[in-house]
Amino acid sequence: MPETSAPRLLGPAEVRELATRLGIRPTKQRGQNFVIDANTVRRIVREAGVAQDEVVVEVGPGLGSLTLALLEAGAEVTAIEVDPLLAQALPATIETYAPGHAGRLRVVPADALSVAEVPGPPPQALVANLPYNVSVPVLLHLMALLPSLRHGLVMVQAEVADRLAARPGSKTYGVPSAKAAWFADVRRAGAIGRTVFWPAPNVDSGLVAWTRREPPTDRVTRQQVFAVIDAAFAQRRKVLRGALRSLAGGSEEAEAALRSAGIDPLTRGEALGIDEFVAIAIALDERPGAGESA
Q: Which tens digit of pLDDT belongs to each residue from 104-120? A: 999 999 999 999 999 99
Written as one letter, the residue type at 222 is R
* Same domain? 111 vs 207: yes
3-state SS class at 151: strand
6: in domain? no
Written as one letter, the residue type at 265 is P
- Using 50, 70 and 90 to split pLDDT, how confident is the model at 2? very low
CATH number, position 230: 1.10.8.100
3-state SS class at 95: helix
Neighbour count for residue 235 (Cβ, 10 Å): 12
Strands (E), 173-252: 184-192, 197-198, 205-212
* Same domain? 183 vs 39: yes
- pLDDT tens by residue, 183-216: 999 999 999 999 999 988 889 999 999 999 999 9
CATH number, position 17: 3.40.50.150
Q: How many CA atoms lie within 13 A of 120 on its CB side?
A: 18
Residue 291 has pLDDT above 90, yes or no: no
- Using 50, 70 and 90 to split pLDDT, how confident is the model at 132? confident
* Same domain? 189 vs 227: no
Neighbour count for residue 219 (Cβ, 10 Å): 12
**Domain stop point among 185, 212, 239:** 212
- The one-character DSSP state at 83 is -
* Mean pLDDT value across residues 144-172: 97
144: in domain? yes
- Using 50, 70 and 90 to split pLDDT, how confident is the model at 28? low
3-state SS class at 128: strand
Q: Which pLDDT belongs to residue 48?
A: 97
* Same domain? 146 vs 258: no
Written as one letter, the residue type at 221 is T
Written as one letter, the residue type at 28 is K
4: in domain? no
Cα separation, 231 vs 133, whole angstroms: 23
Residue 31 has pLDDT above 90, yes or no: no
Helix, strand, coil content of the chain in percent (nearest 5): 45, 15, 40
* Same domain? 282 vs 146: no
Q: Whole domain around residue 56: which residue ranges?
A: 12-212
Mean pLDDT of the chain: 93
Q: Which pLDDT belongs to residue 133?
A: 86
* Same domain? 207 vs 241: no
* Same domain? 199 vs 272: no
- The β-bridge relationship of strands 184-192 and 205-212 is antiparallel
- pLDDT tens by residue, 217-263: 999 999 999 999 999 999 878 999 999 999 999 999 999 999 999 99
pTM of the complete model: 0.92
